[in-house]
Amino acid sequence: MLNERKKAIFLDRDGTINVDKDYLYRIEDFQFEPKADEALKILYDLGYVLIIVTNQSGIARGYYSEEDVEILHQDLSKILQEKGIEISKFYYCPHHPTKGVGKYKTDCECRKPNPGMLLKGIEEFSIDTSLSYMVGDKKSDVDAGLKAGVTSIFLNNGKEEVPKDLSENILVFKSLYDFAIFLKNK
């Protein structure tokens, strides 16, 4: 079918897929969260379009370039392809409203909790929001998902307190792997 709507998993990167290291931009510093690569394989095998949506204020602050982030994402994509996983798209926000330098100092629609990156993915890949999820370890991830009309998943990996004002319909898991097993068994 030409106009078939697809289901997607929108994924935060740092703290969700990889260990959150301040301003990560080199593949040699990349380390998967426990079983995150296995989780991605499960989600991919379940037929979800996998889309990364990541705030990268290190670009805005001048710590590294957009090219550095794109190289990291190309390297990560190759590693995942070797494991039988395809990331359909990496979206990143290079802006910061107060800490940005030059053209990157802006309050934009792409920086989570705004839904801009998700909305681009929904349009570009003809995503059915009723079948799709946003997974992340911060309230800004959850909020972006809600604003984009997808089900939000909060990863309570112990690094950030579970926000007290989370909606009761937000699902909470300890890890991306636990969420993947939940979907597999659904």
Out of 14, 20, 137, 141, the active site residue is 14
Determine whether 22 is an active site residue.
Answer: no
The CA–CA distances, whole Å, from 100 to 53, 94, 118, 131, 142 equal: 19, 9, 22, 35, 23
Q: Which of these is catalytic: 12, 20, 137, 143?
A: 12
12 is annotated as an active-site residue: yes
Active site residues: 12, 14
